[in-house]
Amino acid sequence: MKARVHIMLKNGVLDPQGEAVRHALGTLGFDGVNGVRQGKVIELDLAEGTTEASVKDMCEKLLANTVIESYTIELT
């Protein structure tokens, strides 16, 4: 079983990497980009029987800083 965890900064948290990407896109001539939020994706290869609750625990304890980040879990 696999899990994909999408982690993004919460709305209202400054995203300097996203702003750098937005600026670089403008420099390259892509003028229609008003904002960029950058995040990360973590793919986990899990043993059969691992629950979504267990993956949520992993996120809460290590993978995401829940003070400033939100996450979603996708099991496949």
Strands (E), 1-76: 2-9, 39-45, 69-75
Q: Which residues contact 48 (CB under 8 A, 6 or more apart)?
A: 1
The torsion angles phi and psi of 22, rounded to 5 degrees, stand at -60, -45
Reported as a pLDDT band with limits 50, 70 and 90, residue 65 is very high
Structural domain span for residue 36: 2-75
Output the domain CATH number for residue 68. 3.30.1280.10
Q: What is the pTM of this model?
A: 0.88
Q: What does the H/E/C string look like for 47-61?
A: CCCCCHHHHHHHHHH
Report pLDDT for 33.
96
Q: Dump pLDDT digits (tens) for 36-47.
A: 999 999 999 999
Asked if residues 36 and 76 have their Cβ atoms less than 8 Å apart, the reply is no
Number of domains in the chain: 1
